[in-house]
């Protein structure tokens, strides 16, 4: 079995991305505190560069490339935010990037990826295997494939957001993290167990895509069909070979929320906190709200993972 990343790797990642990544704000809201009867801290990765935490993992991974790898460039497959993260990191580090994206990826994410200089290759997410396409391109042109979550440098980079949160707030009682393939959750788990060992840590998925919850309960990685949900950043079909064992070891439970609950949270963020959060970015808050009766008097962390959504789509969901 491959060696799992550790909190040491998160600390090294934090040093590597310092200066390139934003140290994002931790916001609070009196309205949220009143609703919960608790103290709620929102780590706002919607204010990260390119609009999501994924810049952390991508920049960390790409900055470890050898000179030969940099010359040939990077290839990545992604439904959106990882694509933008790799394209921007590649541009900052001076290397070419090829991004494999689904035909139905949000227009804003495609445009942003191209805007960062990434070359976009499209595939059909319901019939084609993006991992196979990525591997073929990697072999043909000597590109280095950086997967969206199942890579030790990506996991370590994603863990830097939780590290910053705990360094700012001190230990928390409960922490809610969005879950797709588990890069963010496993990285967050490394930081949580190092900095707030007694904190309850929850991963949160859309109801339609509860492969992580099934895997967690069953003790092995469960594969599902691409789920239909507005949380496009969590439409992954399975956890990773690295992310799953960390999640199994360090996470307390995996919870699910409905698309309607995500929309209610998007509205809360816009109306009350004046921030734009994409549906996937609302997973953590939506789950915390569902179990708020058990959180009274506690200190709660919410990872707000991203804010990339087309404005017309945002308007139609809020309408
Ligand atoms: C990718 C992504 C997630 C899920 O992250 P994983 O590391 O795949 O679990 C959650 N929220 C947003 C905004 C994302 O872009």
pLDDT tens digits along 134-192: 888 888 889 999 999 999 999 999 999 999 999 999 999 999 999 999 999 999 999 99
Atom of ligand 1 nearest to the CA of 148: 8
Say what the pLDDT of residue 125 is.
78
Lowest mean pLDDT segment, chosen from 129-133, 172-176, 247-251: 129-133
Q: Which of 129-133, 258-262, 309-313 has the highest mean pLDDT?
A: 258-262
Our answer on whether the CB atom of 280 is closer than 6 Å to any ligand 1 atom is yes
pLDDT band at 84 (very low <50, low <70, confident <90, very high): very high
Q: What is the pLDDT of residue 132?
A: 86
pLDDT digits (tens, 9 = 90+) for 8-27: 999 999 999 999 999 999 99
Q: Which residue, judged by its Cα, is nearest atom 1 of ligand 1?
A: 233
110 has pLDDT over 90:
no
pLDDT band for position 79 (50/70/90)? low
Residue 236 CA: nearest ligand 1 atom is 8
Name beta bridge partners: 121.
100
pLDDT of residue 109: 77
Q: What is the mean pLDDT of residues 54-83?
A: 94
Query: Which pLDDT score is estimated for 2?
Result: 62
Please confirm, yes or no, whether 54 is among the known catalytic residues.
yes
pLDDT at 129: 84
How confident is the model over 308-318, as a mean pLDDT? 93
Which ligand 1 atom lies nearest to the CA of residue 57? 7
% of the chain beyond a pLDDT of 70: 99
**Which residues neighbour 85 within 8 Å (Cβ) at sequence distance 6 or greater?**
50, 52, 54, 55, 57, 58, 59
With a 6 Å cutoff on the Cβ, whether 151 touches ligand 1 is no
pLDDT at 153: 98
Question: Which of 174, 182, 196, 178 has its CA nearest to residue 292?
Answer: 174
Those residues whose C-beta lies under 8 Å from the C-beta of residue 227, and which sit 6 or more positions away, are 206, 208, 209, 211, 234, 235
- Name the catalytic one among 29, 43, 78, 79: 79
Taking residues 184-206, report their average pLDDT: 98
- Find all residues with CB under 8 Å of 25, minimum gap 6, and list them: 44, 47
CB atoms within 10 A of CB 98: 22
Write down the pLDDT at residue 17: 98
User: Residues 29-48: pLDDT tens digits?
Assistant: 999 999 999 999 999 999 99
Place of tokens 């990339």: 308
Whether 108 shows a pLDDT value over 80: the answer reads no
How far is CA 27 from its chain centroid?
18
Q: How far is the CA of 281 from the centre of ligand 1 (A)?
A: 8
pTM: 0.95
Is ligand 1 within 6 A of the CB of residue 54? yes
Q: Cα-flanking dihedrals φ and ψ of residue 196, to 5°?
A: -150, 65
Q: Is residue 21 within 8 Å of 283, Cβ to Cβ?
A: no
Residue 103 has pLDDT above 90, yes or no: no
Q: Is the pLDDT of residue 293 over 80?
A: yes
Q: What is the pLDDT of residue 107?
A: 81
Residue 284 pLDDT > 70, yes or no? Answer: yes
According to the model, what pLDDT value does residue 156 have?
Answer: 98
In SS3 terms, the chain reads as CCCCCCHHHHHHHHHHHECCECCCCEECCHHHHHHHCCEEEEEEHHHCHHHECHHHHHHHHHCCCCHHHHHHCEEEECCCHHHHHHHHHHHHHCCCEEEEEECCCCHHHHHHHHHCCCEEEEECCCCCCHHHHHHHHHHHHCCEECCCCCCHHHHHHHHHHHHHHHHHHCCCCEEEEECCCCHHHHHHHHHHHHHCCCCEEEEEEEHHHCHHHHHHHHCCCCCCCCCCCCCHHHCCCCCCCCHHHHHHHHCCEEEEECHHHHHHHHHHHHHHHCCCCCHHHHHHHHHHHHCHHHHCCCEEEEEECECCCCHHHHHHHHC
Return mean pLDDT, the chain.
Answer: 95
């Amino acid at each position: 079995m491959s060696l799992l990343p550790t909190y040491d790797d998160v600390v090294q990642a934090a040093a590597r991305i310092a200066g390139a990544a934003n140290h994002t704000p931790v916001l609070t809201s009196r309205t949220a505190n009143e609703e919960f009867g608790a103290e709620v801290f929102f780590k706002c990765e919607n204010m990260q560069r390119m609009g999501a935490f994924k810049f952390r993992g991508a920049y960390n991974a790409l900055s470890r490339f050898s000179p030969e790898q940099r010359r040939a460039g990077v290839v990545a497959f992604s439904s959106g935010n990882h694509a933008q993260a790799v394209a921007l990191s590649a541009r900052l580090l001076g290397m070419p990037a090829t991004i494999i994206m689904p035909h139905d990826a949000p227009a804003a994410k495609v445009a942003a990826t191209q805007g960062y200089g990434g070359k976009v290759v499209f595939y059909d997410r319901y019939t084609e295997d993006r991992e196979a396409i990525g591997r073929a391109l990697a072999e043909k042109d000597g590109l280095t494939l950086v997967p969206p979550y199942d890579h030790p440098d990506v996991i370590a980079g994603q863990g830097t957001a939780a590290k910053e949160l705990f360094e700012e707030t001190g230990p928390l009682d409960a922490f809610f993290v969005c879950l797709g393939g588990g890069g963010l959750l496993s990285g967050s788990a490394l930081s949580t167990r190092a900095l707030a060992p007694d904190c309850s840590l929850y991963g949160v998925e859309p109801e339609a895509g509860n492969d992580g919850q099934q895997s967690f309960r069953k003790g092995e990685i469960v594969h599902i069909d691409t789920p239909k949900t507005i949380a496009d950043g969590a439409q992954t079909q399975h956890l990773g070979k690295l992310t799953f064992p960390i999640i199994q070891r360090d996470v307390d439970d995996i919870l699910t929320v409905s698309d309607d609950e995500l929309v209610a949270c998007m509205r809360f963020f816009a109306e009350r906190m004046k921030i734009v959060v994409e549906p996937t970015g609302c997973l953590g808050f939506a789950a915390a709200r569902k179990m708020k009766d058990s959180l009274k008097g506690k200190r709660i962390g919410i990872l707000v993972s991203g804010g990339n959504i087309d404005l017309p789509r945002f308007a139609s969901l809020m309408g």
